[in-house]
A and B are shown apart, each in its own frame.
Chain A
Amino acid sequence: MQKFRISFFFLLVLVASVPSHAASVFEGKTITVIVGYKPGGGYDRYARLIAKHLPKYIPGKPGVIVQNMPGASSVIAANHLFSVAKPDGLTFGTFNNATVVAQLIKVEGVRFDLAKFSWLGSAASDAVILTVRSDVPYRSAGDLRKAKQFVIGTTGPGSSTHDFPALLKEFAGFDFKLVPGYSSSADVMLAVERKEVDGRAGSFDSIKPFIDRGLVRPILRNRTTAPGIEKLPVDEDLATSQNGKIVMAVNAVPTQIYRPFVAPPATPKDVMKILRDAFANALKDKELLAEAEKGKMTIDYTSPEDALKVVAEVLSQSPDIVQELTKHIKFGD
């Protein structure tokens, strides 16, 4: 009986100490958030916003700092998080959501496996839309399909400004004339205003101010939706072949986890639980939401499990689809 009590006591102490062990991991320490882009860009702003409010939800209230590791459209940061960063819960990071496609089409230099990361989740999803200048006579997707050599400005293969219309051209019978080479998506917008090009695709969040201003009109979207554009036709529905539909889907699906946050693989489960909960709670935090609202940053939480499902869906494509994808999609910015 005595032995039982003693061992029970020890078991109790053991069980009680486990969460406090995990908690003590963060006490007095600093968490580093690695961003795959330079300061000021979208990924950086989300990281800094989260870094600001995360400590409230982590026992031990650690400091959180942001480090920028730009390069190769964030492949450098992803590689770093996969093999160099220590899996002790004190480092996590964010990078381009399209890296999952990069992994699928085996882009040279990719040395990570998104399925193996310890996911915190995604902070936002992003719809990709195609817009045309308001004075253009086409009002619907059906109309646009009849247009001949409709000029769309892009920043080059690898960006959503290019790939979305490129796939529409290839698989949905749109007669687009793609004009790549603009230095940024904002420059494409200027070209639209200048009547040098007539349409622009890209992230809904960044195009929204111009829709509100009345410069452009949205025509199509990808499968990810957002308030205001739910009724737009989806590109996949307009695909003329099954393959086309799948290729578009594979290209679109990562935008559901547009702002992914991951920790290095094999970060201990108990530590990950704290980080995951903190991440989810921070994204519900009133102050964070207020700041995000002011900065026009959508917050749209995806759980780590759902994020992994997205990753699995993309990575499980057949070799035929991968081949088809490689023909039309490049990885880049």
Chain B
Amino acid sequence: MKALVSSRFILSFAAACIAGYALYASLHWSFKTALFPRVIGIPLLMLALIEMALSIWGVEREREGHAVDFELTTTVEPALARKRTLVIFAWILGFLVLILAVGFPLAVPIFVFAYLRIAGREPLTLSIVLTLVSWIFIEGVFDRFLHIPFPDGWILGLWR
């Protein structure tokens, strides 16, 4: 059971689903449009199923299956690592929600200040200074100078 909810299984399952959806969508298309999705999707599906099976029944040797890539830190104990991971993902999502709510230019200083004070427990003066720096960047460089369009955000949209 543990193997079934292991992240290895979930990822390969996700890959299989993506392949499955691609193959399903290609049924509606003409030959030319569908060719590459199918040529890619069929092996993807098969290999994903193999990986799914291996993640449940296979044994992973120490050096095997280690990618040319970095690996997540193992110096922190798993329970704490899991908690911190969830927390940071929550902050990341929160940043997005904040942008949707009040628009990019306001979200940035609010987020920076909130993270520094709440997650970082940084001293007040430092937090204020850094928040100002971030605000100068988003407002000064990206808004006023580059004129990047930033939509208003739900809350401000209602108000205006």
- Residues of chain A contacted by B151 (CB below 8 angstroms): 84
- Residues of chain B contacted by A253 (CB below 8 angstroms): none
- Residues of chain A contacted by B132 (CB below 8 angstroms): none
- CB nearest to B152 among chain A residues: A84
- Give the interface size bracket for B toward A: under 10
Would you call A65 and B149 a contact (CB within 8 A)? no
- Residues of chain B contacted by A68 (CB below 8 angstroms): 149
**B2 in the interface (beta carbon within 8 A):** no
Would you call B147 and A66 a contact (CB within 8 A)? yes
**B53 in the interface (beta carbon within 8 A):** no
Kindly provide the distance from the CB of B39 to the nearest chain A CB, expressed in whole angstroms. Answer: 16
**A307 in the interface (beta carbon within 8 A):** no
- CB nearest to A39 among chain B residues: B146
**A34 in the interface (beta carbon within 8 A):** yes
Secondary structure of the B contact surface, majority rule:
loop
Would you call A69 and B147 a contact (CB within 8 A)? no
How far is it, in angstroms, between the C-alpha of A34 and the C-alpha of B148 when the chains are bound? Answer: 11
Kindly provide the distance from the CB of B42 to the nearest chain A CB, expressed in whole angstroms. Answer: 23
How far is it, in angstroms, between the C-alpha of A67 and the C-alpha of B148 when the chains are bound? Answer: 6
Would you call A34 and B149 a contact (CB within 8 A)? yes
Secondary structure of the A contact surface, majority rule:
strand
Which residues of chain B from 134 to 160 have any CB-CB distance to chain A below 8 Å in the complex?
Answer: 147-149, 151
- Residues of chain A contacted by B149 (CB below 8 angstroms): 34, 67-69
- Give the interface size bracket for A toward B: under 10
Kindly provide the distance from the CB of B60 to the nearest chain A CB, expressed in whole angstroms. Answer: 41
- CB nearest to A77 among chain B residues: B149
Which residues of chain B from 76 to 94 have any CB-CB distance to chain A below 8 Å in the complex?
Answer: none
How far is it, in angstroms, between the C-alpha of A66 and the C-alpha of B147 when the chains are bound? Answer: 7
- Residues of chain A contacted by B147 (CB below 8 angstroms): 32, 65-67
How far is it, in angstroms, between the C-alpha of A32 and the C-alpha of B150 when the chains are bound? Answer: 13
- CB nearest to B149 among chain A residues: A67
The 8 A CB mask of A177-203 against B (1 = contact, 0 = none) is 000000000000000000000000000
- Residues of chain B contacted by A67 (CB below 8 angstroms): 147-149
Kindly provide the distance from the CB of A202 to the nearest chain B CB, expressed in whole angstroms. Answer: 23
How far is it, in angstroms, between the C-alpha of A303 and the C-alpha of B151 when the chains are bound? Answer: 31
Which residues of chain A from 19 to 71 have any CB-CB distance to chain B below 8 Å in the complex?
Answer: 32, 34, 65-69
How far is it, in angstroms, between the C-alpha of A65 and the C-alpha of B143 when the chains are bound? Answer: 11
How far is it, in angstroms, between the C-alpha of A32 and the C-alpha of B148 when the chains are bound? Answer: 11
- CB nearest to A86 among chain B residues: B160
- CB nearest to B151 among chain A residues: A84
How far is it, in angstroms, between the C-alpha of A117 and the C-alpha of B148 when the chains are bound? Answer: 24
Kindly provide the distance from the CB of B160 to the nearest chain A CB, expressed in whole angstroms. Answer: 9
- CB nearest to A180 among chain B residues: B32
How far is it, in angstroms, between the C-alpha of A69 and the C-alpha of B149 when the chains are bound? Answer: 8
Kindly provide the distance from the CB of B49 to the nearest chain A CB, expressed in whole angstroms. Answer: 32
Which residues of chain A from 81 to 126 have any CB-CB distance to chain B below 8 Å in the complex?
Answer: 84
How far is it, in angstroms, between the C-alpha of A84 and the C-alpha of B150 when the chains are bound? Answer: 12
Kindly provide the distance from the CB of B32 to the nearest chain A CB, expressed in whole angstroms. Answer: 10
How far is it, in angstroms, between the C-alpha of A34 and the C-alpha of B149 when the chains are bound? Answer: 9
- CB nearest to B160 among chain A residues: A86
Kindly provide the distance from the CB of B126 to the nearest chain A CB, expressed in whole angstroms. Answer: 34
Kindly provide the distance from the CB of A183 to the nearest chain B CB, expressed in whole angstroms. Answer: 16
How far is it, in angstroms, between the C-alpha of A91 and the C-alpha of B36 when the chains are bound? Answer: 43
Kindly provide the distance from the CB of B71 to the nearest chain A CB, expressed in whole angstroms. Answer: 37
Which residues of chain A from 296 to 330 have any CB-CB distance to chain B below 8 Å in the complex?
Answer: none
- Residues of chain B contacted by A34 (CB below 8 angstroms): 149
- CB nearest to B147 among chain A residues: A65
For the complex with contacts A32-B147, A66-B147, A69-B149, 7 further pairs of A-B residues with Cβ separation under 8 Å are A34-B149, A65-B147, A67-B147, A67-B148, A67-B149, A68-B149, A84-B151
- Please report B residues at the A interface, Cβ cutoff 8 Å: 147-149, 151
- Please report A residues at the B interface, Cβ cutoff 8 Å: 32, 34, 65-69, 84
> What 5 pairs across the A-B complex have the smallest Cβ distances?
A67-B149, A65-B147, A67-B147, A69-B149, A66-B147
10 of the cross-chain contacts (CB-CB < 8 Å) are: A32-B147, A34-B149, A65-B147, A66-B147, A67-B147, A67-B148, A67-B149, A68-B149, A69-B149, A84-B151
